[in-house]
Amino acid sequence: MTRIQLGVVVALVIVLAVAATAMSCGPFLPEAIFARTDRPDPPLDRFAGGTLGIVEPTYGDAYLAVAYRHLSGIGLDRDEQTAVLALWNERQRPADFGEPARRQALARWRDARAIVGGAPAAAVIDVYRKAAPFSVFVNCPDDAFLTAAHTLEDRARVWGAASPDLKAWLAAQDDVFVNCSGGRHIPPAVNGGASSLLRADRTYQIAAAHFYAGEFDDAARLFAEVRDDPSSPWRQIAPYLVARSLVRKATVPAEQPDAAMLARAD
């Protein structure tokens, strides 16, 4: 072995001897994990119902207390099981620091819907939409629900709470929000005899539905129509929404933002 070869071998030995563990992605566990030590394995309703398996002393107090009840012969009735499951599920949810404001915005929208007589029950709205196999984003922000609530209250004053126009407006807005979590639901265009305000609102609602459905070219085109309509109450915010549509197209779901599209939005 030459001196050069010997030097290479020595260098490799040193590198391998001092190399640190490297993680390509989470979870950052340097060893295989076959059983949890902090809580029971799912489904947790089995544990709540008394199917305990092996109870580890390292489980959290909320789990050990339930195990103690069952092992003592006391057990949990159905209501108690429901209560502990709700607690466990809440603790396991990922942190979302915007959730309190989001709940308030959704509640504001539900309260506004109650103005409309005979309105169908509000559907459950999920604001998150899937962008990639392992990625979601907030598709419908809080302002969407606050703006809709304010607009509904204003239109109720203009048209009346029991008016056909208000019911048509609400049905279209419900269609818009179905797009928040997935699918494609576009409100129909209004007929030619509709009031100018309802027609202007519907163009805006259709544009918003395309936006939330991920059809950003159609959204940008329709928001541009709103911008160019001098009678539309949405014309002032429309230029921003055109740009926002282009930004969404450039960034969702692309892993690398489209620089050219972002330049257009700017």
Q: Let me know if residue 16 belongs to a domain.
A: no
Query: Does some domain include residue 14?
Result: no
In three-state secondary structure terms, 87 is: helix
Position 122 scores a pLDDT of 84
- Out of 92, 112, 131, a domain closes at 92
Same domain, 160 and 108: yes
Same domain, 128 and 170: yes
Is 179 inside any structural domain?
A: yes
pLDDT number for residue 248: 92
Q: What is the pLDDT of residue 13?
A: 45
Flag whether pLDDT at 97 surpasses 60.
no
Tell whether 22 is covered by a domain. Answer: no
From the CB of residue 119, how many other CB atoms can be counted at a distance below 10 Å? Answer: 15
pLDDT of residue 101: 84
Give the closest residue to 98 by CA, choosing from 131, 129, 133, 128.
128
* 169, 255: one domain: yes
pLDDT tens string 145-203: 999 999 999 999 999 999 999 999 999 999 999 999 999 999 999 998 899 999 999 99
* Domain match, 115 and 146 both: yes
Round the average pLDDT of the chain to a whole number and report it.
84
What is the domain count for the chain?
Answer: 2
What are the C-alpha distances in Å from 130 to residues 133, 134, 181, 256?
7, 8, 7, 17
**What does pTM read for this prediction?**
0.63
pLDDT for 245-259, tens place per residue? 999 998 886 555 555
Answer whether residue 4 is part of any domain: no
* 259 lies in the same domain as 216: yes
The boundaries of the domain holding residue 78 are 29-92
Last residue of a domain, which of 73, 92, 111? 92
pLDDT digits (tens, 9 = 90+) for 39-70: 888 888 899 999 988 888 888 888 999 999 99
What is the average per-residue pLDDT within 81-102? Answer: 74
Residue where one domain finishes, among candidates 52, 74, 92: 92
Residue 63 sits in the same domain as residue 165: no
